[in-house]
Structure 1
Amino acid sequence: MKKVIFLFLLSTVLISCKKEVKGDDAPDVSKDFAQLLADFNEEGLVLNPIKATNAGDNRFNDQYPNFLSQDYKAKKKAYYTKYKGKLNAIPDSLLDETERMTKDVLLWDCDINLGEFNFKKDLMPIDQMWSKNLDFNKWASGATSQPFKTVADYEHWLTRVDAYLVWLNSAKENMKTGIAEGYVLPKSLTLKVIPQFEILSTAALEDNLYYSPVTNFPESFTEEEKATLTEAYTSMVKNKIIPASKAMVEFLKEDYLPAGKEDFGIAKVTPLGQAYYNFQIKKYTTTTMTADEIHELGLSEVARIRGEMEEVKKEVGFEGDLNAFFEFVRTKKDLMPFTERSQVIAWYDSIHKVMLPQLDQLFSKQPKTEFEVRRTEPFREKSAAANYSPGALDGSRPGIFYTPIPVVTDYNIFNKESLFLHEAIPGHHFQVSFQQENENLPDFRRTLWYSAYGEGWALYVESMGRELGLYKDPYQYFGMLSSEIHRAVRLVVDTGLHAKGWSREAAIQYCLENEAIPIAKIESEIERYMANPGQALSYKIGQLKIMELRDKAEASLGEKFDIRAFHDQVLETGCIPLQFLEEKIDRWIDNTKKQ
């Protein structure tokens, strides 16, 4: 009897130990983990209301933090430090596979955000392409995620503008400090910033971007409400936006521009140094690749793609060299067939219809989020590139592919099939929509963005044009190659500027020798790389990794390989660092083999 009791007690202890080791208390841990993620997301929206507005969460539409204040930076640092500590306190053994990936992604995100505190980049808060004032200006138009549907919406914007002007003043003060410490934009970039503020300071009231919402009142507004808001917006533009813009123009011209340098690499222009560029490489590629490795990869890819371009040139019977063919394609009138802007939109709609049957062969489902093609708004289309604007999380706003059509008769379509694949379907619209619609992801991951994954996916699907029934015209296939070589050239030029001492002129010349885009566009691209080192690397690095994983899966699985299942695996978890994507695909390959 004693022996029986002893064995019973022993088995009870062993079962208890097994539960602890195997994680039978995981439901409680999972609940706590889920709450941690919910808290991280909610605190993040409070800390950065921009994210909330862009996601369609309108609770903070009257708020705009001073991102440059010491108080704000302290709160941001404390936020990421706190959650990094909380995450590290949770053993991986108590989390399931999905939760472990979420933990890894969030730790990576905390580390990369904390890493930014090692550099004084906030002493250069304004540039010609990436800075917060430009995003705020887009909101001002009333055509993006800042809503202007109710009187309260209009009032919220007036309050938000006041808060934004506090940030703008802090930006100018930081730039003054930057002058003293040597953190100043190159002169060529400052020259592009000045007109962006000049137009806001000189435009007539009715033409001022910040007056735009007044010209588009909802029909439901009463005449009294319209009159009150018109007066308030008139005062805002005349007494706040115009004076602040004039003051910035004066500062930029008289103080900031003379302090700038003629050099272009981030290490030469500022004290940020090579360490900052190495950090930017990690941030934007989500890899441990070095600048030298990326540069050599770029040279190799440019050579490979040039070889394919030569084959297309032979196919169409062009007898000149490749650079002459670039110019021929840029100016070929047959590739500029439109006389009305509506024809451009209809042409893109026709591309979508051609792809529809093939999409079902490559993807197991379609996004629920609605999709539209629109002309880029006239106020910004002269300087804008085609882009995708994500739909709202709740489905109230469709995903929109915007294409600028400033001069319709000059609209060259040779590279536009690949453009549609990239920016629209099945590029950013599929990738972003599936991520936002996946309710199994924690909220913060449904809006998370890593450029290597997001842009890598979009460039990867460009290579799928023939599988989707496109690129039947050799010029359209050449357009895809042109888009791809553009991203390969970026690997060479970005690292050339920031790690190998290239001049702006050397970078421009390399682009001219290898791309079918005009000189003005090339100059704009070079200035883009100067303003945000490393970002341009993300496209090709991400594309090559996804292609590598597809090749690995096909080779490993043979007849078991299902392209739809592969795409599901890539897309279902949304934006994640490439290392985690590779680990996920490797696990999927192993599990599929066992089936």
Structure 2
Amino acid sequence: MQRLLLPLLIATMIGCNSKKSEQTTTANTDFATVLDDYYEQRLKLFPIEATQQGDNRYNDQLPNDISQAFLGQTKAFYTNTLEKLNSFDREKLSDEDKISYDILKRELALQLEQYPFHQEEIPFNQFTGLTLSFGQLGSGEGSQPFKTVKDYDDWLKRVSAFSVWGDTAITAFRKGIATGRVLPKSLVVKMIPQMTDLVVSDPTKSLFYGPIKKLPSTFSAADKDRLTAAYKKAISEQIVPTYQKLGTFLTTEYLPKARTTSGIDVLPQGPELYRYLVRTWTTTNDTPDQIYAIGLNEVARIRGEMEKVKTQVGFKGTLDEFFTHLKTDKKFYPYKQPKEVLDAFHTILARIEPNLKKLFINTPKSEFEIRQTEKFREASASAEYNQALADGSRPGIFYVPIPDATNFNVTSGMESLFLHEAIPGHHYQVSLQQENTKLPKFRRFAWYGAYGEGWALYCESLGKELGIYTDPYQYMGALGDEIHRAIRLVVDVGLHTKHMTREQAIKYMMDNEPIAEQGATAEIERYMAIPGQALSYKIGALKIRELRTKYEKQLGDKFSLAAFHDEFLKDGCMPLDVLERKMDAWAERQK
């Protein structure tokens, strides 16, 4: 870590006398050690995060992260790190280290705020939790590697801890029943099949048997036989009984106690918890009421833009009828084969490439590919970006699910989707961050939704500058994507502070964007399960646009959009308040 920061240390030393230089070097080296220790200790506490980053040192570990012992351990870790951080005089740190100081101090303070809310009493839901990530890891198709004999044995060790975690989850749910912290019934109904679908009588039919079907040919016969027997036993005696027990508990004990309300404001400390989650996800101090008002204004503004497109194309009906037209007219379903869909995305890339150099100075070294989502998961998958590995061994991949090419609608926002998920959205942001080895590791691999998703949504607004959105129907698709994020501000806050019901939220979404009821239901239930998360996209994008507009006015002819983008991306993910201080300093330097 100290070696990585050396160029920064040298930069801060130039122009200083030797005594002051020595003090700065010592301070920054000590500071770098604290940052490095934080990153390393966090990976030990959260080994699945390490696995997902391609760090395989802890692939055999699965801590009981909802146990009181673990919560005590993490609280002590955050407290100790904050004490170390507070021992530094921020004003004596380099500009780059001040950014790291501000990011980490905010992160630690927020982490320490969470414990009184007892979120462990709802240990998982239909959208997040170990019950879901465990299947992704153990399928052989996720981030858990299955290349060596050690890899296969590592997973067996993780499996051995899963049943303990499952028992702890049931205990935690029961405590939640006693304290009044329970999930809505509509979510529990979705969780039960997620448990029971993984219960099989034949272990070879299990999702978790996937790695055995892909045993490397280089393994010895003895290792193949041993691992096959061990995996069958682990599936039958540990994994299946755990999922079965969880499914039975949810069905017979938890569902009858689940609530009929939709928002967390009815839970003990619910209003306080929601305000905390809003600050965590948006990285701002905006109040829920402020965010709700922003949402209403944005929905009205974007509907006005949609009306203009409707007029432009000569459609005579209402906006709601135009939504139906876009979803049902056969001319918007031109594809016959998946390759035609993929070729259309390649065409989008070819059209924006000549203009990218006008908007960006630095671009990623990481390779980029467009692929069809694998058959085994495409039926339920969304289009997504899978980040490149930092060492360049895997490209960044834009995955497109195409279960049936004839059902792929060209007005669904193909161009805006590409700008968001691929280039210049997530691929540029994530790759440039990972490739910047001057950043402390806790920042190279950090993620803040308001920054990362905010950037990707902001990139959707660059379509005309990048030479696309010339087709009004593609621009309508982009507006559909944008209003979807604005609607989230209304329904998320409405659900969790204004007693908006699940059904009212679904109707509001369907009234304001071209979305089917099934899709709207899945979206609203996601916001019920993860309060505040959906706010980060639009709040982040609005902040980026606000900063750009501010500097365009301040700098006039001295403003360079490419330089603005470069400065935004070069230091990686950070909270929006830290970002604004950094960008204001950049604008001052441009003057």
TM category (shorter chain) comes to: over 0.9
Q: CA deviation at 1:24?
A: 5.6
Which has the larger displacement, 499-508 or 525-534? 499-508
Partner of residue 409 from structure 1, selected from 406, 409, 422: 406
Partner of residue 260 from structure 1, selected from 233, 258, 261: 258
Asked if the contact 2:162/2:239 (under 8 Å) is kept, the reply is no
Confirm or deny that 1:57 pairs with 2:55. Answer: yes
Structure-2 separation of matches of 1:315 and 1:136:
50
Asked if the contact 1:198/1:245 (under 8 Å) is kept, the reply is yes
Q: CA deviation at 1:592?
A: 0.5
Larger Cα-atom Rg: 1
Asked if the contact 2:450/2:539 (under 8 Å) is kept, the reply is yes
Matches within 5 A, 1:75-224: 75-202=73-200, 205-224=203-222
Other-structure match for 1:3: none
Other-structure match for 2:519: 521
CA RMSD of superposed structures (Å): 1.7
Scaled by the length of structure 1, what TM-score is found?
Answer: 0.94
Other-structure match for 2:371: 374
Other structure's SS at 1:279 match: helix
Q: CA deviation at 1:64?
A: 1.0
Other-structure match for 1:281: 278
Other-structure match for 1:9: none
Other-structure match for 1:350: 347
Confirm or deny that 1:396 pairs with 2:393. Answer: yes
Q: CA deviation at 1:403?
A: 2.4
Other-structure match for 1:317: 314
Q: Write the letter of the residue equivalent to 2:502.
A: R
Asked if the contact 2:188/2:250 (under 8 Å) is kept, the reply is yes
Distance 1:342 1:353, change over 3 A: same
Other structure's SS at 2:371 match: strand
Structure-1 separation of matches of 2:464 and 2:422:
16
Distance 1:165 1:347, change over 3 A: farther
Other-structure match for 2:327: 330
Matches within 5 A, 1:177-576: 177-202=175-200, 205-268=203-266, 270-414=267-411, 415-576=413-574
Other-structure match for 1:11: none
Distance 1:22 1:553, change over 3 A: farther
Structure-2 separation of matches of 1:397 and 1:479:
31
Q: CA deviation at 1:103?
A: 0.3
Asked if the contact 2:201/2:236 (under 8 Å) is kept, the reply is no
Other structure's SS at 1:395 match: coil
Asked if the contact 1:121/1:272 (under 8 Å) is kept, the reply is no
Q: CA deviation at 1:416?
A: 1.8
CA deviation map 1:427-474 (0-9, x unaligned): 111111111111111011111111111110010001111222222221
Q: CA deviation at 1:21?
A: 11
Q: CA deviation at 1:161?
A: 1.6
Other structure's SS at 1:373 match: strand
Q: Write the letter of the residue equivalent to 1:155.
A: D
Structure-1 separation of matches of 2:543 and 2:201:
47
Q: CA deviation at 1:355?
A: 1.8
CA deviation map 1:506-555 (0-9, x unaligned): 11111111011111010111101100111111000000000011111111
Structure-2 separation of matches of 1:271 and 1:427:
39
Asked if the contact 1:23/1:93 (under 8 Å) is kept, the reply is no
Structure-2 separation of matches of 1:163 and 1:377:
30
Structure-1 separation of matches of 2:221 and 2:476:
55
Structure-1 separation of matches of 2:19 and 2:552:
37
Structure-2 separation of matches of 1:375 and 1:67:
35
CA deviation map 1:226-269 (0-9, x unaligned): 3332222222222222221111111111001110111001012x
Q: CA deviation at 1:337?
A: 2.4
Q: CA deviation at 1:23?
A: 7.0
CA deviation map 1:146-167 (0-9, x unaligned): 1111121111111112223322
Q: CA deviation at 1:220?
A: 2.7
Q: Which runs of 5+ in 1 are unaligned?
A: 1-17
Structure-1 separation of matches of 2:222 and 2:67:
39
CA deviation map 1:56-86 (0-9, x unaligned): 1111111111101222111111111111111
Other structure's SS at 1:220 match: coil
Asked if the contact 1:148/1:213 (under 8 Å) is kept, the reply is yes
Other structure's SS at 1:388 match: strand
Q: Write the letter of the residue equivalent to 2:321.
A: A
Distance 1:168 1:338, change over 3 A: farther
Q: Write the letter of the residue equivalent to 1:435.
A: Q
Q: How many residues align?
A: 575
Other structure's SS at 1:261 match: coil
Q: Which runs of 5+ in 2 are unaligned?
A: 1-15
Q: CA deviation at 1:343?
A: 2.9
Which has the larger displacement, 559-568 or 277-286? 559-568
Q: CA deviation at 1:19?
A: 7.0
Identity value in percent:
48
Q: CA deviation at 1:30?
A: 0.8
Q: CA deviation at 1:373?
A: 2.4
Other structure's SS at 1:380 match: helix
Other structure's SS at 1:502 match: coil
Asked if the contact 1:23/1:94 (under 8 Å) is kept, the reply is no
Structure-1 separation of matches of 2:335 and 2:60:
43
Q: Write the letter of the residue equivalent to 1:335.
A: F
Other structure's SS at 1:25 match: helix
Confirm or deny that 1:578 pairs with 2:565. Answer: no
Distance 1:19 1:165, change over 3 A: farther
Q: Write the letter of the residue equivalent to 2:157.
A: T
Structure-1 separation of matches of 2:548 and 2:263:
35
Other structure's SS at 1:402 match: strand
Structure-1 separation of matches of 2:579 and 2:51:
28
Other structure's SS at 1:372 match: strand
Scaled by the length of structure 2, what TM-score is found?
Answer: 0.94
Partner of residue 32 from structure 2, selected from 9, 31, 34: 34
Structure-1 separation of matches of 2:424 and 2:496:
33
CA deviation map 1:106-134 (0-9, x unaligned): 00110111111121111001101122221
Structure-2 separation of matches of 1:203 and 1:303:
54
Other structure's SS at 2:424 match: coil
CA deviation map 1:478-514 (0-9, x unaligned): 1110000000000011111111111112111111110
Distance 1:379 1:207, change over 3 A: farther
Other structure's SS at 2:375 match: coil
Which has the larger displacement, 360-369 or 545-554? 360-369
Asked if the contact 2:204/2:232 (under 8 Å) is kept, the reply is no
Structure-2 separation of matches of 1:377 and 1:253:
32
Asked if the contact 1:421/1:465 (under 8 Å) is kept, the reply is yes
Distance 1:178 1:560, change over 3 A: same
Distance 1:88 1:304, change over 3 A: same
